[in-house]
Structure 1
């Protein structure tokens, strides 16, 4: 029996469920959203704003860059082709990484280094990276996003930068509906109870909610400095509907939050 509910769920259940979910969803996700994301494009969220436009990471030639929650590694692939950098893409899901490898196999460019990595435990030395980032990966899909921020801070060199995008926390108060029904608040913004899907009592998907204040406090606790909090407006050029994101809602409510965080020099 399938069930979707707001209820507590722990770290181990969250990790196992989401790894399995994205393994099984990888090909369908690519078939549905691959055209929007591109095979070698760096898109920060459903609004469609790109790193080429925003330059939030400020990646420069010679840097070492890690992407966590990379999916099929589209963002890392763009960096590798447009900057003279060393870039590694990682994800918890082997299914998503296989999709990334399939994209590389169909391209004349050199394949990306791909790692199956838990974003809360990074296999890199302290102070070894210039940039770490994730576009809609990891942060909402772990029970302890503070651990992700702490790990990013640990592996960054002084002066390094961590940038992450995630569903804007205000969205949790509204139905995941791109139409008029999605414009009326239904639950409390302050209710941090995770959204959980289960099958016969086994958790198959979990997503965790933090308020803006929670995320800012986690940035501070990790020893990082919040440089910018970007709430991208929906551009007129984007007529795409993606889940609960749409031009209608995007004109009235923020759908994405992007936090730009530096490790002090």
Structure 2
């Protein structure tokens, strides 16, 4: 059955998930780092495996910052409650919202607290188990962002805070899928690593302030095992690429937000830090509308 013929809706697509149990075998598993091409299928397999293996460590390390029911757009700590990129909080009541790459569904819980009807979707089974652990009753779906298991025009809004988009080889296909499930006038707001960051080493200190690579090199960053199989893949697009992808996906770009690093945020998160955040942008948030 083609995607346009899919008759399932947001209330029909919830995958059965096991109840939460601690996973003593989870943990960081980094491979050899390289730059090489990676197909959509290889990227998807790598992302699912990496997040299943690393979800426990990720939630343990960043859970306090993310909160259980806070909507944070990135490491800078820009909060949707203040930014209003999806619209004023009071306007969210009663809206159907799809969160893509939801992780443990923290953003979806915030949306539910505003009276919205969110659905949290993620590729990783383990991330969604953390959503079950935290609780809150948000509907959960395990699926690939490039093949959304919902009928056309199912949602009023779609959002993604660092989810899915940086890890897919064909972002336009994801955008077209998001457009398909959105109703006319719906917003699609997503955040990614700011593209300029790809020219700098992924280091939070002074060593991360000197250009070390070409901003224009779109070759994906890949970590691979001893057999050459990708275990982590992240794809680079320039700012111009992202804008063109948004348009090719059928959206109108209405805002591009580059959050400044706030004085209250003193923590480091990977290559993000107060030092770098006061000098170069770390996050780009694209606010798009489906006409």
By the TM > 0.5 criterion, same fold? yes
| Per-residue deviation, 1:217 | 0.4
The residue that corresponds to 1:156 in the other structure is 182
* Counterpart position of 2:106: 74
Please state how far the C-alpha of 1:79 moved relative to its aligned partner.
0.8
> Do 2:66 and 2:72's aligned partners in 1 also have CA atoms closer than 8 Å?
yes
Q: Report what 2:273 is aligned to.
A: 246
Q: Which of these residues, 43, 66, 70, is aligned with residue 41 of structure 1? A: 70
Of the three residues 194, 198, 202, the one matched with 1:172 is: 198
Match of 1:107 in 2: none
1:114 corresponds to which residue?
A: 140
Compute the TM-score of the two structures, normalised by the length of structure 2: 0.87
Matches within 5 A, 1:1-265: 2-58=31-87, 60-81=92-113, 83-104=114-135, 110-200=136-226, 201-264=228-291
The 1-side partners of 2:272 and 2:45 are apart by 27
Cα distance between partner residues in 2 of 1:98 and 1:77: 15
Residue 100 of structure 1: CA displacement?
0.7
CA shift at 1:157, angstroms? 0.6
Q: Which 4+ stretches in 1 moved above 2 angstroms?
A: none
Contiguous gaps of at least 5 residues in structure 1 = 105-109
Offset, 1:188: 0.5
Q: Give the C-alpha shift of residue 240 in structure 1.
A: 0.8
Q: CA deviation at 1:2?
A: 4.0
Counterparts of 1:47 and 1:33, CA distance in 2 = 13
Report the 3-state secondary structure (helix = DSSP H, G, I; strand = E; otherwise coil) of the residue aligned with 1:96: helix
User: Cα RMSD (Å) of the superposition?
Assistant: 1.0
Partners of 2:261 and 2:192 lie apart in 1 by 15
Q: Is the 8 A contact 2:92 2:111 kept in 1?
A: no
* Deviation, structure 1 residue 85: 1.6
Shift of 1:126: 1.3
Deviation at 1:61, TM superposition (A): 1.3
Write the deviation string for residues 30-78 of structure 1: whole angstroms up to 9, x where unpaired. 1100011011110000000100010101152111000010000000011
For residues 96-150 of structure 1, the C-alpha deviation after alignment (integer angstroms, 9 at most, x for no partner) is 000110110xxxxx41100001111111111221000100000011111111111
TM-score norm. by structure 1 comes to 0.96
Find the aligned partners of 2:199 and 2:242 in 1 and give their Cα distance.
Answer: 17
The number of equivalent residue pairs is 258
